[in-house]
Chain A
Amino acid sequence: MSELIFEKSRGGRRAFAQAPVDAGATSIPEQLLREDKPRLPEASELQTVRHFTRLSQKNFSIDTQFYPLGSCTMKYNPRACNALALLPEFAGRHPLAPVSHGQGFLSCMYELQEMLKHVTGMQGVSLTPMAGAQGELAGVAMIKAYHDARGHTERNEIIVPDAAHGTNPATATMCGCVVKEIPTGPDGDVDMAALEAVLGPNTAGIMLTNPSTLGVFERHIKDIADMVHDAGGLLYYDGANLNAILGKVRPGDMDFDVIHMNLHKTFSTPHGGGGPGSGAVGVNTRLLPYLPIPVVKKTEVDGAAVFDWAAEEDIPETIGRLSGFMGNAGVLLRAYVYMRMLGRDGMERVAEYATLNANYLMAKLRDAGFELAFPERRASHEFIVTLKHEAKEMHLTAMDVAKALLDRNFHAPTTYFPLLVPECLLIEPTETESKETLDNFVAAMIGIVKAAREDGVDYKEAPYKMPVRRLDDVKAARELDLRYDPE
């Protein structure tokens, strides 16, 4: 570990250029003032710059490594998206500034809503959810509101496949619903008999990811939609894997009633070391009355377009507000710029080349002897390798391969998710990676297994070349050290 910034601190040192001239005493009554001095760094500007530059160098990132983290869509984040979202007028605009001083920003948001409607086949979009999980919350809350408005308060069961992201069942719980988990069939599609069995008068809806987290397209989606709708339930689309189908097939055409989109995946806004995300939601006409607010509306004044906020008075049955203002506006601007740079043809190519890369990588790994979880299926934009044989024969686990990959300068794929495939690696290369990179990754995978098989190398203590060796997670949880406190 690097020295903490606190350990570099010296009493009285500061980045003096960064603070205003002190204004002296205030009129605030004594008893409201703080007496203690909290531990904040005391460092010069250069020390601070050097400290955080060095820390950044301890990260893997898309800009520095191949990052095939399944289900996360770690594609290149174009520089222009960031620079243009941070233009001084956009970065400095107060969220409560009048619309007279926001027509530029609002026009981008309106057009973003429209483009997202087109690419998903939905009838309404709200940009306000601040992450995928919040989009899920909005979606399930709208499903609940729909049933409640019809007097069906008993409809509180949300069906979730066992392969789903953990956020799906957690969201259902947060919305006051009961989770009904259903199994996946051997071919990766939903077990239709199991679905039939859980549908009933208490069904509120089903949450599906398609292509699923198993990396395959759910072929029975039309039948599933009909069954759920016939039972009085609604369909929720988890947009985590939208990148795989952009311009090829739309959730709205699959009969989904509500969706969320992870703009930080499909539309390339930064992952930022774990956020900000952005989880815009789309709905069909059934759920339009319940959209979260605010949304941007367009009116005409003297023949000119004027953009304004639609709030309670326009959407009286709304599920309400989910953020202090309008969600992660700056992230939305980045997504807008990205979509304009792709255009309609570019968006279709996203799905094409993401799928090409995934199927190529899958074929190369299969040819090299790796076992695929669903060998009979096409990969969508991701696929699963299972190391169950390697684990049994030579105690080589998914965790070991993940750590060994780090030493070969590749970020690991997603490990141990989905939970139903043993010793799995969920691999998503994305469309922005070149063939050479994929070939190098295959060579690394082959090398790792070969060294284990032929030379008896075990990776239980890997990685060796990272800033730290394998960390003691048990100690981290048992002996909680959550802040620097030398006393």
Chain B
Amino acid sequence: MPFIPHTEKDTREMLAAIGVDAIEDLFDEIPAELRIDHLHGVPEALNEMEVSRLMRERARRDGSPLCFIGAGAYEHHIPTAVWDLATRGEFYSAYTPYQAEASQGTLQTIYEYQTMITGLTGLDVSNASLYDGASGLAEAALMAVRANRRVKSGLVLLAPGVNPVYEHVAEAIAGSQGLTFEWLPMDAKSGNVAFEELPEGKEPVAVVMQQPTFPGTLEDVDRLTDWAHEQGAFAIGIANPMSLALLKAPGHWGEQGVDIACGEGQPLGVPLSSGGPYFGYMTCKQKHVRQMPGRIVGRTTDLDGNPGFALTLQAREQHIRRSKATSNICTNQGLMVTAATIYMSLLGFEGLASVARKSHANTTRLVDGLCTIDGIERLYDASYFHEVALKFDRPVAPVLAAIAEKNILGGFDLTGGAGTDALLVCATETKTDADIDACIAAFAEEMA
């Protein structure tokens, strides 16, 4: 019996101790008419050797194409030590640190994570993480409504560079609590917010901006943060944490910095893995900490006066506050945060900056090469970090499909969102010059 240790003798003795004849008797409180006999439709068991063969075959079908897609999830080299350590049973198979004395490893790791991510984002406090970047925006918007109490509109304005999927998710999660989301106008030339056309007098509760933007441009976040505050709104900044090794931290945008920063933590040592599990980070100014959703770890002392760690401010959470909690969130993404903490420890700030600069340089090489091809040019003229939108003179999908047959994934088809034939490309530090040149050659051949 897979994973069940009972011998026949064990089972007999246990049934005798309970005082029943058969295991079946233990289900006698379930109404008989509801019982099923068998799980038809579920296949027979495979042993480990058989399931390994099956999964390897399926993995081979997916292959390992050369991938230039970003669009919210980014391929970076992950040091072997990251997942070697994170999948140690003591991290992997522990649960939420409710028994703090028996969970100091997890708790100290989260405290160290909170220190690192507040440093990177330039803000005061962090939670222990949320599910992912997209759902993190929903939580940030709800938090802004709680903390920015003077504003009753429930209106959240989104800069045009915010990932459109994040808006869909925020709408699905927060829409039924009276929040509405509206887009700010875009300047077609730069791809960034059109400052001259910003609406006045809307009384938004929050203004959300993303740096780098979804189509890869760098926004004037200082000016936009100040504008948000002039409107009486909270500024919510979404940032790729890898970019923060180079770019100004959200806590320092504009005169006062953003009130809440959030985003996708995946670039920090988490594998792409078809979209998850990732983790969403969230940091904020000290004065808003009691409105923050999710778990938070604090350092305190034990009976001997020695330092130790515990979950804190739990009165915000669902297991205490029930229907009045700041969120229904229960788990964080503990294992992913453990991986990110180890990743940041190995890379350090200088290492992260090298990854960021190399990714920028590789993307520049890719974009410069692609723009030499007839029919491809930059869509926007703003500066960029490691992702760039390109305008095509023809439909993108057939071109992408053709080069996919050469095992190159040429980018993310932006056509639907951009309203023109366009492609979003990204080359991180994982690509060699030869990889990039192969990609350029594939496009050149297909566009000829």
B6 touches which one: A356, A466, A476 (CB < 8 A)? A356
B352 touches which one: A40, A72, A219, A249 (CB < 8 A)? A40
How far, in whole Å, are A318 and B360 apart by their CA atoms in the complex? 38
Check if B77 is an interface residue, CB within 8 A of chain A.
yes
A209 to chain B, nearest CB (A): 14
B422 to chain A, nearest CB (A): 15
- Give the interface residue-count category, chain B: 35 or more
Please state if A476 and B310 are interface contacts (CB–CB under 8 Å): yes
Digitize A275-316: 1 where CB-to-B-CB distance is under 8 Å, 0 elsewhere: 111100000000000001000000000000000000000000
- Point out the residues of chain B lying under 8 angstroms from A445, CB to CB: none
* Given A219-B31, A471-B308, A89:B59 Cβ within 8 A: yes
- Point out the residues of chain A lying under 8 angstroms from B272, CB to CB: 91-95
Digitize A309-344: 1 where CB-to-B-CB distance is under 8 Å, 0 elsewhere: 000000000011111111111110000010111111
Please state if A274 and B128 are interface contacts (CB–CB under 8 Å): yes
Q: Nearest CB to that of B20 among chain A residues?
A: A359
Give chain A interface residues in 23-54, CB to chain B under 8 Å. Answer: 23-29, 31-43, 45, 48-49, 51-53
- Point out the residues of chain B lying under 8 angstroms from A87, CB to CB: 55-56, 59
A244 to chain B, nearest CB (A): 9
Check if B5 is an interface residue, CB within 8 A of chain A.
yes
Please state if B102 and A59 are interface contacts (CB–CB under 8 Å): yes
Check if A386 is an interface residue, CB within 8 A of chain B.
no
How far, in whole Å, are A477 and B45 apart by their CA atoms in the complex? 49
Please state if B355 and A19 are interface contacts (CB–CB under 8 Å): yes
Check if A169 is an interface residue, CB within 8 A of chain B.
yes
Give chain A interface residues in 219-271, CB to chain B under 8 Å. Answer: 219, 221-222, 245, 247-250, 253-254, 268, 270-271
Please state if B81 and A48 are interface contacts (CB–CB under 8 Å): yes
Segment touching B, from A75-83, A195-203, A390-398, A449-457: A75-83
- Point out the residues of chain B lying under 8 angstroms from A118, CB to CB: 39-42
* Given A1-B308, A80-B51, A272-B334, A98:B42 Cβ within 8 A: no
Please state if B64 and A469 are interface contacts (CB–CB under 8 Å): no
* Given A61-B89, A103-B62, A118-B39, A92:B271 Cβ within 8 A: yes
B39 touches which one: A219, A328, A347, A356 (CB < 8 A)? A347
Please state if A167 and B39 are interface contacts (CB–CB under 8 Å): no
A104 touches which one: B5, B57, B221 (CB < 8 A)? B57
Please state if B383 and A59 are interface contacts (CB–CB under 8 Å): no
Can you offer 15 A-B residue contacts whose CB atoms are under 8 A? A4-B111, A28-B246, A40-B347, A48-B345, A56-B90, A58-B104, A65-B102, A77-B92, A78-B48, A94-B73, A96-B69, A324-B132, A324-B264, A341-B46, A350-B4
- Give the interface residue-count category, chain A: 35 or more
* Given A34-B249, A64-B89, A273-B334, A90:B38 Cβ within 8 A: no
Q: Nearest CB to that of B6 among chain A residues?
A: A353
A117 to chain B, nearest CB (A): 8
Tell me which of A94, A137, A350, A434 has the highest count of chain B C-beta atoms within 10 A of its own C-beta: A94
B183 to chain A, nearest CB (A): 17
Check if B240 is an interface residue, CB within 8 A of chain A.
no
A320 touches which one: B97, B172, B308 (CB < 8 A)? B172
B127 to chain A, nearest CB (A): 9
Please state if A434 and B6 are interface contacts (CB–CB under 8 Å): yes
Please state if B360 and A23 are interface contacts (CB–CB under 8 Å): yes
Please state if A349 and B1 are interface contacts (CB–CB under 8 Å): yes
Tell me which of A119, A340, A412 has the highest count of chain B C-beta atoms within 10 A of its own C-beta: A340
Check if A402 is an interface residue, CB within 8 A of chain B.
yes
Please state if B99 and A411 are interface contacts (CB–CB under 8 Å): yes
Check if B87 is an interface residue, CB within 8 A of chain A.
yes
Please state if A101 and B63 are interface contacts (CB–CB under 8 Å): yes
How far, in whole Å, are A249 and B43 apart by their CA atoms in the complex? 18
B93 to chain A, nearest CB (A): 4
Check if A389 is an interface residue, CB within 8 A of chain B.
no
Please state if B135 and A130 are interface contacts (CB–CB under 8 Å): yes
Digitize A441-464: 1 where CB-to-B-CB distance is under 8 Å, 0 elsewhere: 000000000000000000001010
How far, in whole Å, are A473 and B100 apart by their CA atoms in the complex? 10
Check if A384 is an interface residue, CB within 8 A of chain B.
no
- Point out the residues of chain B lying under 8 angstroms from A90, CB to CB: 55, 59, 62, 273-274
Please state if A461 and B303 are interface contacts (CB–CB under 8 Å): yes
How far, in whole Å, are A247 and B27 apart by their CA atoms in the complex? 12
Q: Which 4 A-B pairs give the minimum distances between C-beta atoms?
A: A343-B45, A325-B275, A63-B89, A272-B335
How far, in whole Å, are A156 and B349 apart by their CA atoms in the complex? 50
A22 touches which one: B14, B87, B357 (CB < 8 A)? B357
- Point out the residues of chain A lying under 8 angstroms from B43, CB to CB: 115, 340, 343-344
Please state if A432 and B65 are interface contacts (CB–CB under 8 Å): no
A344 to chain B, nearest CB (A): 4
Give chain B interface residues in 268-319, CB to chain A under 8 Å. Answer: 271-279, 289, 295-304, 306-310, 312-313, 315, 317-319
Q: Nearest CB to that of A115 among chain B residues?
A: B42
- Point out the residues of chain A lying under 8 angstroms from B276, CB to CB: 95, 130, 276, 323-331
Please state if A137 and B342 are interface contacts (CB–CB under 8 Å): no
Identify 19 new A-B residue pairs, CB closer than 8 A, beyond the known A101-B63, A130-B276, A324-B135.
Answer: A19-B355, A55-B108, A86-B271, A91-B272, A97-B67, A118-B41, A132-B330, A141-B176, A254-B34, A274-B96, A320-B171, A324-B163, A324-B166, A324-B276, A325-B276, A339-B42, A435-B10, A468-B308, A484-B112
Please state if B357 and A26 are interface contacts (CB–CB under 8 Å): yes
B131 touches which one: A103, A130, A342 (CB < 8 A)? A130
- Point out the residues of chain B lying under 8 angstroms from A468, CB to CB: 100-101, 104, 302, 306, 308
Check if A472 is an interface residue, CB within 8 A of chain B.
yes
B349 touches which one: A37, A63, A98, A432 (CB < 8 A)? A37
- Point out the residues of chain B lying under 8 angstroms from A467, CB to CB: 101, 104, 308
Tell me which of A31, A346, A402 has the highest count of chain B C-beta atoms within 10 A of its own C-beta: A346
Please state if B26 and A378 are interface contacts (CB–CB under 8 Å): yes
Q: Nearest CB to that of B54 among chain A residues?
A: A340
How far, in whole Å, are A472 and B27 apart by their CA atoms in the complex? 44
* Given A26-B360, A247-B36, A277-B331, A39:B119 Cβ within 8 A: yes
Digitize B345-385: 1 where CB-to-A-CB distance is under 8 Å, 0 elsewhere: 11111111111011011101000000000000000000111
B412 to chain A, nearest CB (A): 6
How far, in whole Å, are A466 and B346 apart by their CA atoms in the complex? 28
How far, in whole Å, are A476 and B310 apart by their CA atoms in the complex? 7
Check if A373 is an interface residue, CB within 8 A of chain B.
no
Please state if A275 and B331 are interface contacts (CB–CB under 8 Å): yes
How far, in whole Å, are A260 and B51 apart by their CA atoms in the complex? 26
- Point out the residues of chain A lying under 8 angstroms from B322, CB to CB: 166, 169-170, 179
- Point out the residues of chain A lying under 8 angstroms from B320, CB to CB: 166
Please state if B95 and A406 are interface contacts (CB–CB under 8 Å): no
How far, in whole Å, are A59 and B338 apart by their CA atoms in the complex? 13
Give chain A interface residues in 136-190, CB to chain B under 8 Å. Answer: 136-137, 141, 144, 165-167, 169-176, 179
B320 to chain A, nearest CB (A): 7
Tell me which of B4, B38, B57, B103 has the highest count of chain A C-beta atoms within 10 A of its own C-beta: B4
Please state if B89 and A340 are interface contacts (CB–CB under 8 Å): no
Please state if A352 and B23 are interface contacts (CB–CB under 8 Å): yes
Please state if A32 and B135 are interface contacts (CB–CB under 8 Å): no
Q: Nearest CB to that of A87 among chain B residues?
A: B59
A311 to chain B, nearest CB (A): 11
Please state if B64 and A89 are interface contacts (CB–CB under 8 Å): yes
A222 to chain B, nearest CB (A): 6
A461 to chain B, nearest CB (A): 6
Check if B189 is an interface residue, CB within 8 A of chain A.
no
* Given A96-B71, A341-B47, A169:B323 Cβ within 8 A: yes
- Point out the residues of chain B lying under 8 angstroms from A482, CB to CB: 111, 114, 118, 125-126, 289, 296-299, 312
Q: Nearest CB to that of A179 among chain B residues?
A: B323
A446 to chain B, nearest CB (A): 15
How far, in whole Å, are A218 and B30 apart by their CA atoms in the complex? 8
Check if A134 is an interface residue, CB within 8 A of chain B.
yes
